[in-house]
Every structure is written in C-alpha cells, then in structure tokens.
A and B are shown apart, each in its own frame.
Chain A
Amino acid sequence: MTPIFDDDARATIATAMDAQVPGAAALGSVEYVEQLLTALDHDPPHLWAAPGDWAGEGPAWLELGPWERQAWTQRLGDVRAVYQRVIEGEATPADERIVHAHACEATYGDPAYGGNRHGGGWQRIGFPEPLFPPTRAPQ
C-alpha cells in the first residue's frame, strides 16, 4: 500500500499510537490508519474484508451500498481531520479516544485491515487464530 502521510507525519502518528497501545506501531497501526483512510479509493472499498479461502472463491472485499458509501465518506473525512490534528500537535481528548480505538483495532483486529502484522498482536496476548478468518493480503 502506498503511504499517504510523509515520513514525519507517519512518525508522529506512530508515536501517538504507541502512547495509546505500546507496540502498536510495530504491528502496523499506521498502515492500518492509511488503509482505512484510502479504503474508498478501491472498488470494492477496503472496509469489510470478505471471508477467506475456507469459503471458496469470492471477492476479497465486500461491496458497500451507495448510502453506506456516503456514510463512510463522511466518517473518513472526520477521521482524516483527526489525524491532521494529531500531526499538527493539536489533538483533542476526543481525538485521542479515536486514536486509542484505532490503536486497539490495529493491534488486535484481523491482519486483513493492515495492522496486527503477521498476527503478532494476537500472539502477544495468546489469542487463538480464528477458524474462519477473512481474506488477508500478503504482509
């Protein structure tokens, strides 16, 4: 995936993520945020990973309906603004709660979403590999 933030901005976001969940950046939390913010650049959008190989042939990502796309356009615009404030050192407490939520999702969510690199987040807490995982791109 192509980074959307420059190196300095990525480093700032990584620091903010690690302040919430130590080790989050090493597990791919910045990539998680970048994948989220660019999700609608793809068709289908990279928002809901489709079931993996166990389900047979199928798309890697699920389609959104037009209204869902509208909601996510609005939501991702708001998220983009949050990270802009993080980069500029102007994050509010509400922004930090969103960064916290994303750090948790990036660390302990499925690797399909760009974080939890090689399942490292799960390994460090002993969470078992799911029986029916979604499709995952090579990391």
Chain B
Amino acid sequence: MTDCDVVIVGSGPGGATTAEVLTRAGWSVVILEKGRNHLLDLTPPFASRRHFANDEVAATRRHLLGPDPLLEPRTYRRDETDGERILVGEVNNLPSTVGGGGVHADAKLPRFREEDFHLRSTRGPMPGAAVEDWPVQYDDLEAHYAAVEISFGVAGEAGTNPFAAPRRNDFPMPPGPDMPMAVVSAAAAQRAGFHPYRAPSGVNSVPYDGRRACMDCGFCGGYGCPIEAKGDPVAALRRALITGRCELRPEAFVTDVLRRADGRRATGVRYLDLTGYPTPPVREVHAREAVVLACGAFETPRLLLRTGLGGDLVGRFLTNHFQTFTVGIFPEPTGGERGRSVTHLHDDLMIDTPALRAAAQSAGLPWLRGGVVEHGSGPGPIDEASTYSAGADHLEAMTNSALRRRIWAFTMQGEDLPQAHNRLDLDPSVRDAWGFPAGRVTYAPHAHERAASAYAAPLHEAIMRDAGAQAAFSATSPPQGDLTLQATLGPLGIAPSSRHVMGTARMGTDPATSVVSPEQRLWEVDNVLVCDSSVFVTSAGYNPTLTLAALAHRAATLLSGGKS
C-alpha cells in the first residue's frame, strides 16, 4: 500500500523543483515540510496566504519564517580545540517554512561558470583542501539552468557579463530598475578595471507567470514578498500543486527513512505531525519509487546521520562561502531604502589573472579565487539601531545613519574550499524540542579564503572611495581573530552567516569518496536522492540556489525517465 510515487522532504527550491518536474511527468508526490505554511493556500487555486508584510519585527526579530532557535537549536565551534561547542542558537539558519530558503532570499540567481565544475583540473590541487571536479559539468546542466530560470522567472541581461558561461536562451525577463547607488558603484568598479553587470534576479521586473512585478518596496533580502514578485519560493510549488498530483503537508518533521528488510531500498519516511501537541502523532508516507531529500545542506545530513544512511562522509566538506563585506560610508543618502537590495554584481575575482596569481604566490598558495561581489544596500532601522551603543549618542548616530542611509556595501561570496574537518555532525548533548540531537557545525576557513579576502578588501575599499565614500572598511563572516565580547555580540555573530550552506553529501563517481552518485542517488540505497546543495562538490563563489535547483531539475528528469 503506497501513498505516492515519490515522497519529497523539504519544500524549498530543490524540493519544489523536483515536485514540478515529477508531477509534470505524471508522477504523484507528497512533500513534507517541517516548517509552518505562510506561503500559499493548499486548495485550488493555491492563492497567496498573504502573511508577509514590510515588517522588520516579525521577519528579523520574532522568527516568523522559522526555525525558532528555542525549538531547533544549532551549535557551532570553529574546531575541536573549542570543545564541544561555543554557541547554541542560530547558526547560518535558512527559513524553515513552506518555500524554504527561497522565501527570505533577495533572489540573486547567477549560474555557475564552466570552470566551477572542474576546478581540480583547471587550477590543480590545493594543500589542505579537498578540491575535486564535479561529475556533472556545465554543459550537462545548461538546459536545466534554462528550465529553472523559466520556472522561477529570472530577470537579467545576457551578454553583459564577459565571464558568464554560454547560454542558449535569453533571460525570461529584462532586468528590473537599477538601484541608483549601484549605478555609481558599478561605474567606480568599471574604472578599477572590473566588469559589473545587472544581477540575474528571481524577482519579476514585469508581470510574469500570473504574479506581479516588483514594486521595489525595499524589504527584500530577509523578507517574504508581500506580492509574490519573488518566484523562487512559490512558482514551482504552485505549478506542482495545480497538477493535482502533489500533496503538501506542512509541520511534518521527518525522523526516519523507511527501508525494505534488506536495507537496500527505501519505501518511505516516518514523520512527526507537529500539528499535534504535546505529543505529536507519528505518521508514515509510503512511496513506490523514491525518497527525495531536499532539506538543505544542514538538515539533509542531520537526517542522514540520524538514520545511519549515506556512509562516513555524510556531513563532511561543509562549505558556507566566506563573506567579505566592504562598507562605504557616503556623505549623502544612498537610497537603499527602496529597491531589491542588490541589482549589480561583478565576477572579476573569480577569474584567473596575473594579479591573482601573484597574490596567491605571496600567500604561499597555488591559486586564488574570490567570489561574486554584490553591490548592495544596508540594513533596516532596527538592525541599524541595534548596532549602535546605548545612551546619549544613540539618536545622533541614528540621525546621521552611517550604517543605513549613507551606507553602500560590497559583499564578496568568497569561494569556500571543502575541507574534511569542516562538517555537520550531531551534537553530543544539545537536543531539539522533540528530543533529537541538534546539528553541530564545525567550521574554520582555509588559508585560501583568508588570502582571497585580504586581497579583495583593499581593492573594494578603493572602489568605494572612488565612488565617493568618505570612509571604507571591511569585515568578514565568520569574523577572524579572538572571540572578544564585541565579536560575540556583533551583528553578524561568530558563526558563518552567509545563508549559503553546501557540500555535506557531495556527489562523485566513486562511492569511497562521495555520498551520492552523479544522478544524486545515495550509493547504498539508490532510490534515495539528495536534491539540494548538500551535493555540491565545491562551493564556487556564486549564490547557490539556481545551481541546486538546476541539479534537482536534472535529477528529477532522470528519475522520471526523461533525458538529462
């Protein structure tokens, strides 16, 4: 007796894309999502629930998008010398809600470049890091990138980024309006020899797919979209639901993967129905064909570790993107209160150049890669106010508003090299509200990341000053150096905060060195697929969502018998 062809764990961009592909192929799916549903009605026509507003309190202070750290604590340490942990609470959390990470993101959706899939071959090994080629190359993914861009609705401008990988189709939408200060910072970057371009964004620049165009309300990164102009969290999910072959169950916390007696084939999952309290009922979903894990690179390995699936490498090679923020303080307001947070990027520090080679050599490294650099605005007023100290100077600081109205920032999503000791495992004593071990992150950047950051920071500070900044400085996430009280209380915290979590169930061609096959199937139970950023072999230096969704699109296409 089965309930569906495939049960999918997680409703974010990976799970939603998988559901869309499978239901279009005529398969039935059940999606289990541990978070609450703030996104869309679960009956036709699957309209917006209209739970999202321009509300800094709910979104950033009161855990509207989940997870609540009191229910689902995470722990963190830099390495084993820190002891069992140095932090309990939020560690690089993505939303736990229907739509997953797509809900909060400001939806920058660049593709990876060709080189990102074979870094080992093009750049060579890196001492102390496990840099390997992916078993899937850009050409294998190009059609899937294009399909996901259409599904989510990506606005962009082909041909303006000289480093972009080739693409067969134009973007589904033209780019939206430029943020005024991004035009200024892009011009300064150009004067420095860089090649800025309009960011590919999963934000409607025109009405698209029955959803409205963005109105540049300014509450983008970190917020659910009030008018569904961001396609990532909702578009694929709604299309899957409309087929009538997709059932979505929120508040369903999967605890186990059910297997046949010989352990070689999965038959479904067991979950806690969190609508029940204080003892949530235990339920099961039985699937004819496959179990797809799409819980993200934190929760997927946590589930695998809990169930003993996947082998010894599960959780290892965790990458986060080592972020370098270069902040410019300008004499006049930068206009960041409206717009889509980020409208321009540049990629130059991903490219092999004599200057980067020289920087690598002086750092004692064989090569160096930075990451995509976002030209973006500052925080909301509560976050700004929380940054300033208390007392008489507080109002003057808020009025001058160096860190909100007059700020402009470059965020480099620095490529984070995989290291076996950077990992997600199960905390030995901290548990969640249901008694399961919390996920524990052990993470410290490689010398490569620190060197790339040190190289990029002064370049970007100079660009900021050329753009008119009175002052410019840089910081990283996670912070480096001693754990002072100030660092502990800083707005970015002491743990990685990129929200880009990757690489904890890496794909490969050898079961001895990977967790999943090139088709994203667990080696030991091959009808369990992983369709999220866990499978990344390297982190590249680009926002991961479009690539994880393209991989999910490919894996689901192969699963349902289509051409890859």
Contacts and interface: CB of A to CB of B under 8 A. Distances in A.
B390 interface: yes
Nearest to A121: B381
A56 B50 contact: yes
A53 B236 CA distance: 28
A125 B57 contact: no
Contacts of A112: 55, 57
Interface in B169-204: none
A20 B57 contact: no
Interface residues of B, number: 50
A109 interface: yes
A85 interface: no
B391 A132 contact: no
Nearest to B337: A128
Contact of B385 (A21, A52, A97): A21
B70 A75 contact: yes
A22 interface: yes
B392 to A, nearest CB: 6
B226 A132 contact: yes
Interface residues of A, number: 49
Nearest to A54: B226
B394 A22 contact: yes
A52 B55 CA distance: 11
Contacts of B277: 66-67, 70
Interface string B59-79: 001111000101100000000
B13 to A, nearest CB: 23
Interface string B327-351: 0000001000110000000000000
A100 interface: yes
A132 B385 contact: no
Contacts of B433: 67, 70-71
B12 to A, nearest CB: 19
B551 to A, nearest CB: 31
B251 to A, nearest CB: 6
Considering residues B38, B62, B215, B399, which has the most beta carbons from chain A within 10 angstroms of its beta carbon? B62
Interface string B264-283: 00000000001111100000
B53 interface: yes
A108 B381 contact: yes
B395 interface: yes
Contact of A19 (B50, B380, B390): B390
Contacts of A47: 58, 62
A130 B401 contact: no
Considering residues B64, B215, B278, which has the most beta carbons from chain A within 10 angstroms of its beta carbon? B64
Interface of A: 19-23, 47-52, 54-56, 58, 62, 65-68, 70-71, 74-75, 96-97, 100-101, 103-105, 107-110, 112-113, 121-122, 124-128, 130-134
25 contacts: A19-B390, A21-B394, A22-B392, A47-B62, A49-B57, A51-B50, A51-B53, A55-B226, A66-B275, A97-B489, A104-B382, A105-B382, A109-B61, A110-B54, A112-B57, A121-B381, A124-B399, A125-B401, A125-B405, A126-B401, A130-B54, A130-B218, A131-B217, A132-B54, A133-B53
